[in-house]
Structures are given as C-alpha cells and as structure tokens.
C-alpha cells in the first residue's frame, strides 16, 4: 500500500467520501467502487466536508431507507454551494429505480449509477470532471467484476465477497428483482482467486453474499457441471489461512441436500444460518408469493439442526402485510416460539412502488406498529435467552480490533456473538479459544482458555 501512495503525486490526490445504506451487498459494492476510483486519483476520507466527490450508495427496500437519500442531498447542498467543484453521485438501488427522475429533480447531482454498472464509474467520473452529468442504469451483459481492479482496500480480518446477485423470486412486497435484476452467479475460479488475495492480505473470515446466495450456480473451475454453493464452500475451505466461512441471505426453497450436509462436516463453515421466513401464516406466505409453507420452513430448520445441532438461526419478518389478520400474526408468534431465534430483523410492511402488493389495502398503521412491538419483544427475549445459555461455554473468537478498555480485544464468536476478552497479549486477526463468563446486553464477556 505505502509503495503505491509514495508513487502518487499527492497534489493530484482527490478525496472520496462514500455513505452506504442498505444490505451487506451495498457495503461490498462501496468498497469496490472506492477501489475502482483509486486509479483516477481518489483516496477515501471519513467526512463529506473535505471530499472532492461524495457518493451516496442507496437502498430502496423500504420507504424510510430510500427517503434518506433526499435528506442527505439536502445536507450536501450548502457544501456544493461553497465548493462548486464538489461532485455528487447517487449509486445503489434508489439510483437504479429512480435514476432519471433524481437527475431531473436534483440539479446538484452530477452522476447516477446503478448496482450493475458501477464498473463504468471511472469513465463517468472523467465526464463529470469535464462538467457533464452522467447516468448509467443499464443491466450490461459484460461481467462488471471483470472490469474492477484487483482487491486492495482491506480493513481487518473479516471480508464480504459477493458471489451471486439479483433475484428471480419476485416476492410480492420486494423491489430487489427490479433494482438488482435477474440472478447471476460469478464463476468459481474468480471467487477462489479473489478470496486467495484477501487471505494473502490478512483476511481469515469471509461472508459470501447474494440476495439469494444459496441459489448460487457458478461455472466450475475445470468446466463440467456448475458448482452450487456447497461445492463453492468446499473449494474455498481448501485455502490455507482461511478460518471461517459464512453466507447470506438464503431462501428456504434453495436449501439443497449438499449444503445441509456441508454444515455437518465442513469445519470452516460456521454454525450460523440467516434464513428469512417473513411470516408464520401460510395464507400470508401465499399472498407474499414466497412459494413455501411454514411446514416446509420448519422441515429445513429440522434437517439443518440434525446436521449441526448447535446451529444458530436468524430470520427476517414483515408484519402488517396487506390482509394480515390477528390470527395470521399469532401464527407468526407461534413459529418464532417453535424455532427459537438467536437473532432476527423485523420490519413493518412498507408499500413499494411497482411491486404487486403495493396495490393492496394496507393494515392500519397502529395495528402494524403494535404487532411489530410484540414480535420484537419476543425476538429479543429469545436472543437474550440464547446468549445467556452461552455462559460457561468455550467458544472461538476472531479478534477484529482492540476494545475500549486497556488490554481488551473484541471479536466475533463462531455463532456471531460479539465477544470482549481481557487479553493483553491478543492481536487483531488472532483466533483464540475463550470461556464465556458473562452475558451483557448484545455481547458476551470471556477469558482466554489456557491451552
């Protein structure tokens, strides 16, 4: 890194600030966008105030998420007035859904690029530098990943790697199939070499990302039948120095036998599964076009727990979907009781323009709100109980960074619990065995185990 920066003429250096909303795929995209603008002279900065270019990497999933773009643009207006050379770009899923409209209504925006075409950012930046405005919201046929520079910017021992993008499922409430397009999987050999580079740079823990990651089917390294996610995980597990593999987000209908089996015998595959169910009512699941029942979902969980008894399960829920009755909601609570979740996200339904459910009559807001409160109370009670059960157990922790206290290290356990350890000799990137001594709100305290 330092060699590279020494060679650069620092007087030509420009500062790039990226604000990221939404899912982990946006986090990954932001890193790749920053890397792609490196050769154009951009280095990262932590504030919009001293930036030459600000990119807002947006999320369209719920109304509240997409509204953040407009409040951010409002805050950037005085900066742009003070510095007309400041370039402002909108990227991500709102850019994809409303790009042309944003450019039309927001004169301060110089650049709009969707999630499938951000490999074209360097050319667009060059146009913008000449005072033009640029927009690209195509779904190009070329593989954007082939046009991105090799990965360099690494922070800590954990990294995300996008292996699959897009979605063909068309749940009635969801914008992702429209903003991210059809399902595409990256070839396995490219992923193996991307992960090798990460590991050579100190990464020990990777999370494979995709809107439907378990539908992964990428070209196999030596030709022949495509690899599924299980083959990819086994291929990556052969990389020396890589200690942990996780993946998200999965759809219950794509939980194949091979993947379930991998949880039983692949040591590097962590005992954690994010498997959204959305609702516990079959009637609502049908209206959501989820294409599975609660019984199908529970069967997958049972098979997963047979393969890996200590598996931690997490989920996403939507309450107040159009037509949801009290009885439907009670079924969601019953499903939560049946599964016992270690972690979960729950949302009030938000009507999204262009999705089939947006046409339906919404549940009154106060009813949806009360249901969300009740569900969240149950989910946090379960999360807390499962966390308390960790006390007294030995777990592995990968240190991410030093803690706030002197001599303290913090990291994640196999089950993705945040753990703090009093370990003055510990260092970032170290994988240690520890004994959990206390469960506090949202984290565990532990001490190193003498070997």
Q: Tell me how far apart the alpha carbons of residues 175 and 185 are, in angstroms, rounded to a whole number.
A: 19
**Per CB under 6 A, which region of 123-131, 168-176, 370-378, 407-415 contacts ligand SF4?**
168-176
Site string for ligand SF4, 242-261 (x = CB under 6 A): ---------x----------
Could you say whether residue 276 binds ligand SAH (CB under 6 A)?
A: yes
The full length of the chain comes to: 451
**In the complex, least distance from residue 198 CB atom to ligand F3S, rounded to whole angstroms:** 22
For ligand SAH, the binding residue among 113, 128, 174, 199 (CB under 6 A) is 174
Helix (H, G, I), strand (E, B) or coil at 175: coil
Nearer to ligand SAH, 59 or 243 (CB): 59
Task: Answer whether 161's CB lies under 8 Å from 148's CB.
Answer: no
- What, of ligand SAH, ligand SF4, ligand F3S, none, does residue 318 touch, CB below 5 to 8 Å by kind? ligand SAH
Q: Tell me how far apart the alpha carbons of residues 133 and 282 are, in angstroms, rounded to a whole number.
A: 48
Could you say whether residue 215 binds ligand SF4 (CB under 6 A)?
A: no
For ligand F3S, the binding residue among 15, 32, 60, 371 (CB under 6 A) is 60
**Per CB under 6 A, which region of 164-172, 331-339, 368-376, 415-423 contacts ligand SF4?**
164-172
Cβ contacts of 1 within 8 Å, gap of 6 or more: 152
Structural Rg of the chain based on CA atoms: 23
For ligand SAH, the binding residue among 32, 151, 180, 251 (CB under 6 A) is 251
**Per CB under 6 A, which region of 6-14, 75-83, 169-177, 436-444 contacts ligand SAH?**
169-177
DSSP class of residue 160 equals E
Q: DSSP E strands: which ranges in 93-156?
A: 111-113, 134-136
Q: Tell me how far apart the alpha carbons of residues 7 and 249 are, in angstroms, rounded to a whole number.
A: 41
**In the complex, least distance from residue 355 CB atom to ligand F3S, rounded to whole angstroms:** 12
What letters, b where the CB count within 10 A reaches 16 and e where it falls short, cover 378-388?
bbeebbeebbe
- DSSP assignment string, 299-326: HHHHHHHHH-TT-EEEEEEEES-TT--H
Could you say whether residue 59 binds ligand F3S (CB under 6 A)?
A: yes
Positions in the binding site for ligand SAH (CB under 6 A): 61-62, 173-174, 176, 211-212, 249, 251, 276, 278, 316, 318, 347, 349-350, 352
Positions in the binding site for ligand SF4 (CB under 6 A): 167, 169-171, 174, 176-177, 211-212, 251
């Amino acid at each position: 890194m330092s060699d590279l920066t020494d060679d650069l003429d620092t007087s030509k250096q420009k500062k790039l600030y990226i604000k990221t909303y939404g899912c982990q795929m946006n986090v990954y995209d932001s890193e790749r966008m920053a890397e792609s603008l490196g050769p154009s002279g951009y280095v990262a900065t932590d504030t919009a105030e001293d930036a030459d270019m600000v990119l807002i990497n947006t999320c369209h999933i719920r109304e509240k998420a997409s509204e953040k773009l407009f409040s951010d643009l409002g805050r950037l207006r005085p900066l742009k007035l003070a510095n007309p050379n400041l370039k402002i770009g909108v990227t991500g899923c709102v850019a994809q859904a409303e790009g042309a409209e944003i450019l039309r209504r927001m004169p301060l925006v110089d650049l709009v690029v969707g999630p499938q075409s951000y490999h074209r950012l360097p050319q667009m930046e060059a146009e913008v530098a000449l005072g033009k405005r640029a927009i690209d919201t195509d779904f190009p046929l070329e593989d954007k990943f082939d046009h991105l520079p090799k990965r360099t910017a690494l922070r800590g021992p954990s990294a995300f790697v996008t292996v699959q993008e897009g979605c063909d499922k068309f749940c009635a409430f969801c914008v992702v199939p429209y903003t991210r397009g059809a399902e595409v999987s990256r070839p396995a050999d490219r992923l193996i070499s991307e992960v090798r580079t990460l590991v050579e740079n100190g990464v020990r823990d990777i999370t494979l990302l995709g809107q439907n990651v378990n539908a992964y089917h990428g070209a196999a390294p030596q030709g022949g039948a495509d690899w599924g996610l299980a083959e990819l995980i086994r291929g990556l597990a052969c990389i020396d120095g890589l200690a942990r593999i996780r993946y998200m987000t999965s759809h219950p209908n794509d939980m194949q036998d091979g993947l379930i089996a991998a949880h039983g015998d692949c040591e590097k595959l962590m005992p954690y599964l994010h498997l959204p169910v959305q609702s516990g009512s079959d009637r609502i699941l049908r209206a959501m076009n989820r294409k599975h029942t609660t019984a199908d979902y529970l069967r997958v969980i049972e098979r997963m727990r047979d393969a890996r008894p200590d598996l931690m399960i997490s989920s996403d829920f939507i309450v107040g979907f159009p037509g949801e009755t009290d009885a439907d909601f009670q079924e969601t609570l019953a499903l939560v009781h049946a599964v016992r979740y270690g972690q979960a996200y729950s949302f009030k339904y938000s009507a999204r323009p262009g999705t089939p459910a947006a046409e339906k009559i919404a549940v009154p807001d106060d009813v949806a709100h009360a249901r969300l409160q009740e569900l969240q109370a149950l989910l946090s009670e379960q999360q807390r109980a499962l966390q308390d059960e960790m006390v007294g157990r030995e777990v592995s922790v990968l240190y991410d960074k030093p803690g706030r206290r002197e001599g303290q290290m913090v990291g994640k356990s196999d089950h993705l619990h945040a753990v703090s350890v009093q370990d003055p000799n510990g260092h970032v990137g170290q994988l240690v065995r520890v004994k959990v001594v206390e469960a506090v709100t949202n984290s565990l305290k532990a001490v190193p185990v003498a070997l």
